[in-house]
Amino acid sequence: MSGIQAAWPSNTECVAKYNFQGTTGQDLPFFKGDVLTIIGVTKDPNWYKAKNQVGREGTIPANYVQKREGVKSGGKLSLMPWFHGKISREQAERLLYPPETGLYLVRESTNYPGDYTLCVSCDGKVEHYRIIYHNGKLSIDEEEFFENLMQLVEHYTKDADGLCTRLIKPKLMEGTVAAQDEFSRSGWALNRKELKLIQSIGKGEFGDVMVGDYRGTKVAVKCIKNDATAQAFIAEASVMTQLRHTNLVQLLGVIVEERGSLYIVTEYMAKGSLVDYLRSRGRTVLGGECLLKFSFDVCEAMEYLEANNFVHRDLAARNVLVSEDNIAKVSDFGLTKEASSTQDTAKLPVKWTSPEALREKKFSTKSDVWSYGILLWEIYSFGRVPYPRIPLKEVVPRVEKGYTMDCPDGCSTVVYDLMKQCWTLDAAVRPSFRMLREKLHHIKSKELYL
């Protein structure tokens, strides 16, 4: 174990693999699954000094914990690694060769578009079972019905229930990694039994956002039921494991249930979204110093993403949350990708997206800077919708001709100048987030916002 010592510097996060009671007063007891932070080494290379999430410190055995790592294989993570998409009957049979009873995969049906086929190797040949999609449910025999493919597969791994054999071994699609295995391996899998869901605080098209309790800590939980949507959120969660900053909403862990539900557990942000916060309090409550602080918080988070080569793509006041102690944190990494990739523009929020991103699907830190300018305008207009009184279809043509929104009432000219720099049509000329932070710092220190 002594080789571990050099590899784990202070502030390394780790997860307990076992329960530890402690044998002396100096030890820090913990339970399996607890997250601990290494704060130093001891004379004995088999022990660390660490602290737990409530700040208690003590010594812990090095071989009882595993380092928490960012999940790297985002694009290859799959909730359904046995799902092979559009392949033919013959291709499925080739993949299930040499025959091995209980080896299986699921494919899209070639004869019945919209349905699926379960292909199972049994006694030297492959059986193909049509999975019928009926009234929003899936079924093979029209006796048992399932919400999604994951539930169906789980059922038949426990019991053959009319099939030639129960499902024993998935034939993984080449290049995929089972999401549950990867989150467990890197220390991000949480225990469903220890999560209590308390009440719904929002509904999205993907599922519910709930307030929950995980081991006595108040948390926010995205509950995703549908397998296609859950697959998209797996990518979001894997991005979140790689990012850690005071002004980003922190992922606490992920639960992948066998029955196909996915829970993404994050820190709880008591005061909700920044846009609602601004609208409900208004200028009588929020002074210039508070608005500048929110602008600064978001800028710091975005500078961190910029330095780590991540593009947010959906920066707006609705995707910034406010904590109990009034810290603004950027959330919703649903669209976050490694820098400079392209994406489908059908769902893009037109009023927040830069002209080049809408026109050429080009996303970069500089397109995030444009969105940040719009977010500044939202902050200083106390949550108004951008481009007031302009019909949506006219926004892009007018912006491309050089139109910019007016300065919000009461906003200082120095802050308005920053907005306009963010809205430069030539992306290369826009400031970086680092430059924006330096300018905000200057505005704050000289009290130019008053």
Domain with CATH 1.10.510.10 in the chain: 273-446
Element (H, E) at 385: none
Contact 80, 149 (CB under 8 A): yes
What pLDDT, in 10s, does the model give residues 194-248?
Answer: 999 999 988 766 778 999 999 899 999 999 876 667 777 887 788 889 888 999 9
Largest separation between any pair of C-alpha atoms in the chain: 80
The structure tokens 């790689």 sit at 242
- So what's the pLDDT on residue 257? 80
Instruction: Please state the rounded mean pLDDT for residues 5-27.
Output: 84
| Rounded percentage of the chain residues whose pLDDT exceeds 90 | 64
Question: Which segments of the chain belong to CATH 2.30.30.40?
Answer: 12-64
Closest CA to 393 of 350, 424, 423: 350
Is the CATH number 3.30.505.10 carried by domain 82-170?
yes
pLDDT above 70 covers what percent of the chain? 92
d(CA 118, CA 292): 57
pLDDT at residue number 339: 45
Residues assigned a catalytic role: 314
Reply yes or no on whether the pLDDT at 9 is more than 80. no
* CA pair distance 73, 81, nearest whole angstrom: 13
Annotated binding residue 222: yes
CA distance 419 to 225: 40
Q: pLDDT: is 11 or 87 the higher one?
A: 87
User: Which is higher by pLDDT, 181 or 400?
Assistant: 400
Stronger pLDDT, 349 or 340, i.e. the higher one: 349
Residue 61 bridge partners (DSSP): 47
Backbone angles phi, psi at 83, to 5 degrees: -90, 120
- Per-residue pLDDT at 429: 97
Listed in order, the ranges of the chain carrying CATH 3.30.200.20 are 191-267
> 384 pLDDT band (50/70/90 cuts)?
very high
Rounded to two decimals, what is the model's pTM?
A: 0.81
Phi, psi of 119 (to 5 degrees): -110, 125
pLDDT band for 276, please (50, 70, 90 cuts).
very high
* pLDDT tens profile 104-123: 999 998 888 878 999 999 99
> How far, rounded to the nearest angstrom, does the alpha carbon of residue 100 sit from its chain's CA centroid?
38
Domain 191-267, CATH homologous superfamily name and number: Phosphorylase Kinase; domain 1 (3.30.200.20)
85, 107 in Cβ contact below 8 A?
A: yes
- Express each pLDDT in 42-77 by its tens digit: 888 899 999 998 899 999 999 999 888 888 765 688
pLDDT attached to residue 30: 94
User: Is pLDDT of 4 > 60?
Assistant: no
9 prior amide bond cis, ω within 30: no
Q: Domain 273-446 adopts which CATH fold?
A: Transferase(Phosphotransferase); domain 1 (1.10.510)
Output the CATH code of domain 12-64.
2.30.30.40
Strand pairing class (125-134; 137-139):
antiparallel
Distant-in-sequence, close-in-space partners of 260: CB < 8 Å, separation ≥ 6: 79, 147, 148, 149, 150, 151, 154, 225, 227, 230
Task: Report the first-to-last Cα separation within the chain, whole angstroms.
Answer: 58
Give the β-pairing of 328-330 and 337-338: unpaired
pLDDT at 5 > cutoff 70:
no
Please report which confidence band the pLDDT of residue 341 belongs to, taking 50, 70 and 90 as the band edges: very low
